[in-house]
Amino acid sequence: MERKTFSVLFFIKKSKLLKNGEAPVCMRITVNGCMVDILVKRSCPVNFWNQAKECSRGKDRMSAELNRYLALTRSRIHQIYRELETSGKTITADLIRKLYYGEDEGNKTLLQVFGEHNAQCRNLIGKDFVSKTVQRYETTTRYLSEFIRKEYRVSDIALNDLEADFISRFDAFLKIEKGCAQNSAITRLKNLKKIIHLALKNDWIRKDPFAYYRFKIEDTDPEFLTMDEIKVILSKEFPIKRVSQVRDIFVFCCFTGLAFSDVKELSSEHVVRDNNGNLWIRKKRQKTSVMCNIPVLPVAASILDKYKEVAGCTGKLLPVLCNQRMNSYLKEIADICGIGKNLTTHVARHSYATSVCLANGVSMENVAKMLGHADTSITKHYARVLDQSIYRDMEKVNSFLSDLAV
């Protein structure tokens, strides 16, 4: 009968010191002469390492914690080996490594499940998802991969190894390493939470690392343009054709409230005339599939007429660039017009809700319908109370109180 050999050895990598000067601890698993090395997510000062005993010789708390972790890891590897012996499977060093990382079929890994989810979503673009949503999931996956490699020094992590600490550390990574603002980081964490819930539903994970985690959304105060600022942009002459086109599309959004993804896909089928000959934009929002019903104001109608030849060539009503290039040109337009605000394509949507509609007495309910919101609670995020609307309402109050005297 062939004799089987199995051993576990811990050592430090002196040639790859970390930024703190410590050496990463490595575990070598050897089965029948074949070996694999695994970084065990721990490090040790070079002068503290005792290779004969495969542990730290330090007496401090960090050294004691390291030695306990290495003992538990050794015990875990021996447990995996015994389970494989009992099951009668062919034992290899690589199989033990995979089981240690949770890469067997019964113990899925985080990035594996995230990747499968993203692939399925990409196949459903145009049906259940839009491209932007899928891109957001893929970016979150990339950030997670970078985080796991940096913090845990492995390529992936088993779902059952996720702890509450993983969530808070990933949150910090997003803000510190990736420069995400609070709400942007929350968006990434919500993407991750969806995958965790998918794993819980399929019994791929025993406990929920988000169980005691609470999202803290910050109230934001998005930029919008006043009507005077919109008029300055509208009246400005731009000699460069591309800049002029970006201005026109931005102004069109200011007078229709269309989001960038919707104006980019706007075609002749979305513009209709009612029985009185008035133009309307009737289009389902790409983001929510809620129908927008927007009367086309004269400014917007003149812009559509200006680019009617574009529709004949491309099938789209306006020559919309990618969002990144649009925002780049809008910053240039803001500088030229002396507007000290961070202009983006979405500022136009806020400006429509605030300066075009609410400032002129349009009800919140009607603004919600035109923006394609399911209810007014979403619209309130866009709405801003302007001084002129306050003054107008207070004039009504004053008319009732005019006959009172002190």
85-126 tens-digit pLDDT:
887 777 888 888 888 876 655 568 899 899 999 999 998 887
Which residues of the chain carry a pLDDT beneath 50? Answer: 1, 405-406
Which pLDDT tens digit goes with each residue over 232-241?
999 999 999 9
Residue 38 φ then ψ, to 5°: -130, 125
3-state secondary structure of 176: helix
Domain membership flag for residue 167: yes
Residue 144 neighbours by CB distance under 10 Å: 23
pLDDT at 97: 86
Contacts of 140 (CB under 8 A, 6+ apart): 114, 188, 191, 192
Give the predicted TM-score (pTM) of the model: 0.59
Contacts of 273 (CB under 8 A, 6+ apart): 279, 280
* CA dist., res. 70 & res. 56, Å (int): 10
> Which range marks the domain in which residue 39 is found?
6-101
Domain membership flag for residue 403: no
Same domain, 184 and 251: no
E strands, 184-333, where?
271-273, 279-284, 291-295
How many distinct structural domains can be found in the chain? 3
pLDDT at 389: 59
pLDDT at 162: 86
* CA dist., res. 38 & res. 165, Å (int): 22
Domain membership flag for residue 405: no
Same domain, 262 and 386: yes
* CA dist., res. 189 & res. 210, Å (int): 10
Q: Is residue 156 within 8 Å of residue 110, measured between CB atoms?
A: yes
pLDDT at 404: 55
pLDDT at 355: 86
Q: What is the 3-state secondary structure (H, E, C) of 60-117?
A: CHHHHHHHHHHHHHHHHHHHHHHHHHHHCCCCCHHHHHHHHHCCCCCCCEHHHHHHHH
CA neighbours closer than 13 Å in the CB half-sphere of residue 204: 22
* CA dist., res. 89 & res. 178, Å (int): 43
Q: What is the dihedral of CA 285, 288, 294, 298, to 10 degrees?
A: -50
* CA dist., res. 250 & res. 257, Å (int): 10
Same domain, 67 and 152: no
Q: Which two tokens stand for residue 228?
A: 């005077």
Domain membership flag for residue 121: yes
> Final residue of a domain: which of 81, 101, 121?
101
Element containing residue 25 per DSSP (H, E):
strand 23-31
pLDDT at 386: 57
3-state secondary structure of 318: coil
3-state secondary structure of 36: strand
- Residue 132 is part of a domain; what is its CATH number? 1.10.150
Q: Is residue 287 within 8 Å of residue 368, measured between CB atoms?
A: no
Domain membership flag for residue 80: yes
pLDDT at 7: 94
